[in-house]
Structure 1
Amino acid sequence: MHRASVVDFGAAQGSDAVAALARSLVGVAPADGDDVARAALDRAVADGLVRDEHEPLVANLVGAPQRAGSRFDAMDPATRLRGRIEALADLAVRASRRKPQAFVVEDLHWAAPAVIDALAALADRAQEHPIVLVLTSRCEGDPVSGIWPAGRCERVDLPPLSVDESLEFAQAILEAHPDIARRCVARAQGNPLFLSQLLQSGAEGDALPGTIANVVLARLDRLPPADKAALQAAAVVGVRFDPALVAHLTGKSAGFDEAIARDLVRPAEAPGELMFTHALIRDGAYASLLHSARRDVHRRAAGWFADRDPALRAAHLDRADDPGAAEAYLAAARAAARALRHDAALVLARRGGELRAPPSTRYALAAFEGELARDLGDAPASAEAHERALALAADDLARCEAYIGIGAAHRLTSAVGPAMSALDAAEPIATRLGAHRELARISYLRGNLEFVRGDTGACARHHERSLAHAREAGDDECEAQALSGVADALYAQGRMASAHDAFAGCVELCDRRGNLRFSLMNRCMIGITGAYLCRLRESLVAIDEARVAARDIGHRVAEVMTGECAGLVLVDAGLFREAREPLEHSLALARRIASRRFAALDLALLGCIAWHDGDGEAARRLLDESWTMCEEIGTRFAGPIVLGMMARVAADDAGRRAAISRGEAMLDDGAMAHNHFWFRRDAIDASLAAGDFDAAERHAEALERYAAAEPLPWTDFHVARARALASAGRGVADAVALRALRERGAELGRHAALPGIDEALASASR
């Protein structure tokens, strides 16, 4: 059986209910240190209890040090939260295959949303596996009943004790005092806690208090003064407490033997710790302190936690009404963020922002809250927090940073107008101050926004400017972002060789800084641009490195992209059989995360594979589905690519002509660069297959013209192939040139292009 309880105040860092359950499953005792936890986790992994991919997440749950090379730090906050829950649920399932598992979690009314989500995941698994959950909660604040599906849980309400039940309970305690027992039963009115406290109080005197709080106060008053003071100090700490801390608060060694004997406190799960037998007893002891004394004890508790737990230090200063509480919350939020607990950091920053503090502290809290909300993907909350920071800014640099924060928040939702307005306000300030780091960030955001608007020229200019400012500032992170932006702009202009070098420079800088997460998309793009340089092996290695890392850190979007990129490179090279698995995996994930942009291209590439396999009907169906999706989300990204493929698989000449005509119109309207390469290549093949050799040469000329600024092995080969096959189709085949072309195609890995050359050679030899 695995037990955990939720407390509303005073729990030590890392002792939350989810972590307690994970530690119990792995076999880590509450008092075990880091090394013991690490050894227990290693055994669990070796024994198959913990999946390899879940190891970093379970290490975080059980308090074990991360292994060397762990990618836990590279996970984004949302991935870590989701991953911890999935890891706990999978751990429970694996344990249940060995023997049934029972989980008991008490006081659910105090649970944070992450705890409820974890228990919901366990409840889901309990439908199919021998797992039982027993949860306790007050009726008021019950976070489960009425929310979880009716079939998932059975609610057992504990009604008041009947008179007979109460008398039986009372007489078992006070057999010698039946009159007192009856009076206690009458006063308690079926409340078992009130009854037990009355019985213990009633055994010590004639007067019966009228409320539970009064009962607790009466029982505290009967303790020796030193014991009462210790219990009051313990109440300041929380439901659970360390006697050593209480001794620090009272200034003398604290003994709790009398309190234990009177059932006011009892040993806790962790060795050496004690806990109140009920939260209401702790509340009564806490309420018995004068406000001035309570504040003083909280300040002393804050001093105890100064070097131990920044969050508890801040909470105690808060309850002491200390003017330094807001600053302490800021420090605690930053510490939590460094520990990769962004959700906890956001709660701390928001609480700090609610307190009275100097404007500089309130500004820092609001700005940090905005950063945290952005990292967690909550753009509206991020923008609102940065707006508050702007109102609190005391100088130009602070105002500039607030405007940049507002712009970055709006960029998340592609709200170009509001984002540009904020950056318009920030840029003159940064220019006047000579703030190169801020100017780098402003230009980077502008470049991304121009990319969304489709203005590749402006996109390139802003990213080049960002790169110059980043290098002037000596900021590696800004430089990596700018290099990525420059690479995107070059890619959008069809300058694939230059884009490849820029993506490689970005990844190299990310690797040097250990910024794995930011490197993933750029590593994929090394693979894509490498394909236009006909570096097939290099491309696949880069994409596979990104795929492994994306899976390790739970970066779902990057994982979708790696599958699609691998499939695209393999289909382009004519390795259709090898392309199917990564594309099917990418499509499944894309549908799971509702990414229609990725799904549309996956479907189109799978249509190519079906066509190669001789299933024209399936190819047309997949491409029709892809095209429908493109029309829903916008055709600029991949519309002409899909239309080029549709031209190749068209059932008749009219369908071919219609697809080509529509695709060319979209290219003229400003589609993304990759459309020019893929559409023209497929239009060439569709025209050759239809015997329209003039059209094939026209598309070859258009492709050559588009790539003229930066010729590529890919375009040079396909242009030469189109012209050679068009001539052969007219009966003017140059066998020597065709053989040289075939040799070049094989050298470049253009496997899909070789059969057409072979057919032309065969015709020429007849």
Structure 2
Amino acid sequence: GSLMSQRRQLLHSRAAAWFRERDGLLHATHLDKADDEGAALAYFAAGRAFAAGFHYDDALAAAKRGVEVAITSDVRFSLELLSGDVLRDAGQTDPSIAAFRAALDSAPDDGARCKALIGVAAGLRVLGQADETLATIDQAQPLAEAQDMPLELARIHLLRGNIGFLQGDAALCEREQQLALSHARGAGSVEIEAQAYSGIADSQYMEGRMASAYRNFQLADDIAKTHELIAVQAGGVPAIAHTLVLQARLRDARSSIIEGLELIRRVGHFRAEAIVRLNYSSLLCEFGLPEAALEQAEISGDIVKRIGAKVWEPLVWSNMALCRFHQGDRAGSIAAARKGATMAVETSRALLGAWALGILGLIAEDAKESGAALEQGEAILAERVVGHCHLWFYRYAMEASLNAGHFDAAEYHANRLEEFTKAEPLRWSDILIARCRLLSAHARKTNDGQIRAELLALKTVIEQADLGTALPAIEQALKS
């Protein structure tokens, strides 16, 4: 029998050689059957190729078999890291963290330990666990510095900057992303360079400087396009869409979302998909399509649950509340708005707290409940929060105050929004501020011809900007 097995081994070796340039997986499989020590490394190469093409199941299968046949600890470790990365990209966040923790236990040296720690941290970041992420990269950084690992240092600073974003700390975000950028250049990684530009944009976004943010998001997108980094492009879709909305370019935002969802689906970038569908949902309300909007919010909710991105879940509820509000389902709307606001304050205070409270302030029927929500939202804005909270909170606070006939309060919110956007005025907020002031002035002296003329002019501006939900109150005022 040994002659047969020698012959079989030889045939598999020949087949492996033939497949080397043609099919990475068959190359690895034949090496495996020939009991060749190179099989594990071949599985690693095949797994990486599958992962690069976003074929996650195939990549995982190759990595798993590679771990089983690996002889040297460094090859086994590389395969464990690959598994962790693929699991995270496939939206299996908890298994990914577990894979990196396993890799950490078997790491052959400090450089390897550093890579495994970064993998653990990247998963914790998806879960929105800020403190745990920071603690993990704080362990990784001295290892990367001692081993002189510029690529790993770039990743570490990128992650710390991402956490700065979730915590509403613009200065930390900006500083870390600048460091990530310089290390990425040192390491020759255009991928991290693009992500760092996007991170620098995040820090401007946090300060409400949306035009500057948009330019850097666009720059990151250009780099990604040039180098065919589809996953990086997909990750940038929500930010570009949202900053387009805030420049009152709603049609451009819609096109970027529809194109972006194609990319996101090709890559399977679940976190980006969840956030961009929330953008889409609020956009569809402006276009007068609350049913379609609700569907987008619900799909987003399913994805958020699947990948464990609890930090975004409050906005799912608050968005569903807005959709139901525009559908005329007041009871369902209030229940969802309460849930969104409660969750936001608990789990995503800096990221979403005031935003969700603004929505509750608008939707709540009870004057006391509405007033309390607006008061709490404004208190949170005095803390370190992400810039979009100011913009959306005041948008809803102006509306809620106008609806309640609290014109002084409405004008106060308009002034605060103007103050916040003073460094970089935004077309979106400029329109809403003008609308608030005009509606308030009109309510105080209904038959002023000058105000009427301005309302008519503003109606045209709002129609051109597609801000559909801002129209009814203007039309109502023009009737009176």
Partner of 1:594 in structure 2? 305
CA contact (8 A) 1:450 1:456 kept: yes
Partner of 1:8 in structure 2? none
Q: Would you identify which runs of 4 or more consecutive aligned residues in structure 1 move more than 6 Å? A: none
Q: Structure 2 CA distance, aligned partners of 1:516 and 1:348? A: 22
Partner of 1:460 in structure 2? 174
Letter in 1 for 2:392: W
1:382 equivalent to 2:103? Answer: no
How many Å apart are 1:293 and its aligned residue? 5.7
The 1:368/1:582 distance shift into structure 2, 3 A limit, reads same
How many Å apart are 1:478 and its aligned residue? 0.9
CA contact (8 A) 1:739 1:761 kept: no
Q: Which runs of 5+ in 1 are unaligned?
A: 1-288
Q: Structure 2 CA distance, aligned partners of 1:706 and 1:521? A: 27
Q: Select which of 498, 501, 507 maps to 2:221.
A: 507
Partner of 2:334 in structure 1? 623
Q: Select which of 593, 604, 609 maps to 2:326.
A: 609
1:365 equivalent to 2:79? Answer: yes
Partner of 1:743 in structure 2? 457
How many Å apart are 1:504 and its aligned residue? 1.8
Q: Select the structure of larger CA radius of gyration.
A: 1
The SS at the match of 2:236 is helix
- Aligned residue pairs total 462
The 1:660/1:370 distance shift into structure 2, 3 A limit, reads closer
Q: Structure 2 CA distance, aligned partners of 1:473 and 1:691? A: 59
How many Å apart are 1:606 and its aligned residue? 1.0
1:449 equivalent to 2:160? Answer: no
Residues 555-574 of structure 1 aligned to structure 2 (within 5 Å): 558-571=272-285, 573=286
Letter in 2 for 1:594: K
1:584 equivalent to 2:295? Answer: yes
The SS at the match of 1:307 is helix
Q: Structure 2 CA distance, aligned partners of 1:696 and 1:340? A: 49
Q: Select which of 513, 536, 540 maps to 2:254.
A: 540
Partner of 2:433 in structure 1? 719
Letter in 1 for 2:257: I
Residues 355-504 of structure 1 aligned to structure 2 (within 5 Å): 355=69, 357-376=71-90, 377=92, 378-388=95-105, 390=107, 392-393=108-109, 397-398=111-112, 400-431=114-145, 435-504=149-218
How many Å apart are 1:758 and its aligned residue? 5.6
Q: Structure 1 CA distance, aligned partners of 2:280 and 2:384? A: 26
CA contact (8 A) 2:170 2:203 kept: yes
Q: Select which of 384, 396, 402 maps to 1:682.
A: 396
Task: State TM-score, norm by structure 2.
Answer: 0.81
Kindly provide the CA deviation profile for residues 123-165 of structure 1, in whole angstroms up to 9, marking residues without a partner as x. Answer: xxxxxxxxxxxxxxxxxxxxxxxxxxxxxxxxxxxxxxxxxxx
Partner of 2:310 in structure 1? none
Higher relative contact order (CA 8 A, sep 6+): 2
The 1:402/1:389 distance shift into structure 2, 3 A limit, reads farther
Residues 12-23 of structure 1 aligned to structure 2 (within 5 Å): none
How many Å apart are 1:419 and its aligned residue? 3.5
Q: Structure 1 CA distance, aligned partners of 2:367 and 2:257? A: 38
The SS at the match of 2:18 is coil
Kindly provide the CA deviation profile for residues 511-553 of structure 1, in whole angstroms up to 9, marking residues without a partner as x. Answer: 2233334323522332221122112222222122223444566
Q: Structure 1 CA distance, aligned partners of 2:277 and 2:232? A: 18
The SS at the match of 1:594 is helix
Task: State TM-score, norm by structure 1.
Answer: 0.53
Letter in 2 for 1:381: A
Partner of 1:656 in structure 2? 370
CA contact (8 A) 1:717 1:745 kept: no
The structure richer in helix per residue is 2
CA contact (8 A) 1:488 1:499 kept: yes
Q: Structure 1 CA distance, aligned partners of 2:214 and 2:191? A: 19
CA contact (8 A) 1:303 1:313 kept: no
Q: In angstroms, what is the RMSD of aligned CA positions?
A: 3.5
Of 515-524 and 531-540, the range deviating more from structure 2: 515-524
How many Å apart are 1:695 and its aligned residue? 1.4
Q: Select which of 357, 375, 382 maps to 1:668.
A: 382
CA contact (8 A) 1:532 1:713 kept: yes
Q: Structure 2 CA distance, aligned partners of 1:365 and 1:648? A: 52
Letter in 1 for 2:200: V
Q: Select which of 282, 298, 301 maps to 2:12.
A: 301
CA contact (8 A) 1:687 1:695 kept: yes
The 1:738/1:754 distance shift into structure 2, 3 A limit, reads farther
Q: Structure 2 CA distance, aligned partners of 1:684 and 1:368? A: 50
Q: Structure 1 CA distance, aligned partners of 2:78 and 2:234? A: 31
The SS at the match of 1:691 is coil
The 1:648/1:341 distance shift into structure 2, 3 A limit, reads closer
Q: Select which of 524, 530, 538 maps to 2:244.
A: 530
The SS at the match of 2:305 is coil
How many Å apart are 1:444 and its aligned residue? 0.9
How many Å apart are 1:379 and its aligned residue? 1.8
The 1:734/1:477 distance shift into structure 2, 3 A limit, reads farther
